[in-house]
Amino acid sequence: MYDFANMLHDRWDILTNVNKLIPLNEDKYKLYLGDCLEIVQKFDENTFDCIFADPPYLLSNNGFTCHSGKRISVNKGKWDISKGAEKDFEFHREWLKECKRVLKPTGTIWISGTYHSIYLCGSLLQLLGFKILNDICWYKPNAPPNISCRYFTSSHEMLIWAKKDKKVKHYFNYKLMKSGTWVEDKLKKPEMQMRSVWSITSPKKKEKELGKHPTQKPMDLLKRIILASTKEGDLVLDPFCGSSTTGIAAYLLNRRFVGIDKERKYIDLSIKRFKELQNSRDSKDLLQQASLL
């Protein structure tokens, strides 16, 4: 596996062919510290089988929200501050354009977001020639209350699933989605087609034991996405990887992973999570703990 100290020092030594960077059956993941647009531009086209992107919602506006019963600031960092409608539009257009270039013709992309960003991303997907396959409502049964009492309580996020090429068949594990065991989702009925509303709680306490990201996604959500749209051995990209929940799920499910984040503290957190995984005597125990079986 990787020498993590050296891995961060060679952050600019980016090979153009990622399939050579991560050979099948050898190293299963690679983390990059830096701007996702600058890094993705250096990858070869038609490289990745699947992309999961949780781009900045750009909603850090000095407001407040509720977390664990406490009033906290919504500010997450400089990376989450809006630069105005036109520059935000350009930001989303550029990273989506590069993601399309590096996605295989058979590949699909998932984008997560709230109303602050998801509709803009949906419009850009269509403008860039993607074909939207589904929009998924991720319902959070344990969502925090709205402390202003002036709006409906926000209890969901949206996911868009789209494919690169309208004329090329994409992969979808229909049988598993229909007949698999999804105990975390009280809306999923056994042996019935999986619908586009998923009831999945926010990340479990155990998933944040080593540290947390302010927009961290639950393992159960990423497990479902990866199982639905990739095969074993596929190469998955997360251009805004945060604490690498996408990467941990991919690793445990025998997929390969490339993650990018511009914040050193979240790359460090990702490294801790991967190290814990590698140091485990039995990965199956971790798989069960993460509700991945």
Domains and CATH numbers, the chain: 4-289 (3.40.50.150)
Weakest-pLDDT range from 63-67, 119-123, 250-254: 63-67
pLDDT at 18: 47
Q: What is the pTM of this model?
A: 0.84
Structure tokens given for 13: 């030594």
**What is the C-alpha R_g of the chain?**
18
The pair phi, psi for residue 137, each rounded to 5°, is -95, 110
Predicted confidence (pLDDT) at residue 16 exceeds the cutoff of 80: no
Structure tokens given for 107: 């590949």
Q: What is the mean pLDDT of the chain?
A: 84
Sign, CA torsion 143/145/148/151: positive
